[in-house]
Chain A
Amino acid sequence: EAGVTQFPSHSVIEKGQTVTLRCDPISGHDNLYWYRRVMGKEIKFLLHFVKESKQDESGMPNNRFLAERTGGTYSTLKVQPAELEDSGVYFCASSQFMSFTNTEAFFGQGTRLTVV
């Protein structure tokens, strides 16, 4: 069974450009989460989808970040325009149920974004 897949693995863009990250969750997982780790600090929650609906987007830094989940399958996270402080590793995770204690959340390998 395929795990959570993220594209691209690495992305280097210039300040002011646009970047779109993609996450393919495990098939059948209704819950999809985006997290970010900046400069070796803690992994921070960005937002949570249940199917195609945004359940919680309280962690989104600002309106330069836009997340979508088309048809409740894959998700994209767009940063427009990118700023230097957006650099970091973006993780996607999916789980079958909403509660992390009822089912494990599986993480993708992450996308390392560098804004120069």
Chain B
Amino acid sequence: QQQVKQSPQSLIVQKGGISIINCAYENTAFDYFPWYQQFPGKGPALLIAIRPDVSEKKEGRFTISFNKSAKQFSLHIMDSQPGDSATYFCAARGESGSARQLTFGSGTQLTVLP
């Protein structure tokens, strides 16, 4: 059972366009929602994160929109650049016993055309 569903699987955007990646979750106990960016040959790196008590968080060209009632959150990349081409993972933090771990979405391969 996949607890965090991510779409689309792949996305192609023209330079300067807006990239939008969506995620939906099921577990209402999740309390932290990060996005990770992964370039080829590298590990995932934290890009931006949000808590459920906030509906939006913006850092530069990257914005997370969060809809608690719908259990959905999305990443918007404004003025997309070829350097943004990477795989993006949404994630949610839950608690399992005494440990905290991340539950990831399946990833979105973003390609920004020059």
A105–B100 CA distance with the chains assembled, in angstroms: 11
Given A42-B4, A42-B107 in contact, is the A100-B102 Cβ separation under 8 Å?
yes
**Residue pair B46, A104 in contact (C-beta under 8 Å):** yes
Chain A positions within 8 Å of B25 at CB level: none
A53-69 residues at the B interface, CB under 8 angstroms: 55-56, 58-59
Set B96, B100, B103, B107: member contacting A58, Cβ < 8 A: B96
Contact with B along A30-63 (1 / 0, CB 8 A): 0001010100111111001000000110110000
Chain A positions within 8 Å of B104 at CB level: 35, 42-44
Residue of A nearest to B87 (CB): A40
A40–B106 CA distance with the chains assembled, in angstroms: 7
- B interface majority secondary structure: strand
A33–B104 CA distance with the chains assembled, in angstroms: 14
A56–B96 CA distance with the chains assembled, in angstroms: 8
Interface size on B, residues (CB 8 A): 29
Given A43-B89, A100-B34, A107-B45 in contact, is the A56-B99 Cβ separation under 8 Å?
yes
A35–B104 CA distance with the chains assembled, in angstroms: 10
A/B interface sample: 13 pairs, CB < 8 A: A40-B107, A43-B91, A56-B96, A56-B97, A56-B101, A93-B43, A100-B32, A100-B102, A101-B51, A107-B43, A107-B45, A109-B43, A110-B43
- List residues of A whose CB falls within 8 A of some B CB: 4, 33, 35, 37, 40-45, 48, 55-56, 58-59, 91, 93, 98-101, 104-110
Beyond known contacts A4-B43, A91-B43, A101-B93: 13 more, CB 8 A cutoff: A41-B106, A42-B103, A42-B105, A43-B91, A45-B102, A45-B103, A56-B97, A91-B44, A100-B32, A100-B34, A107-B36, A107-B44, A108-B43
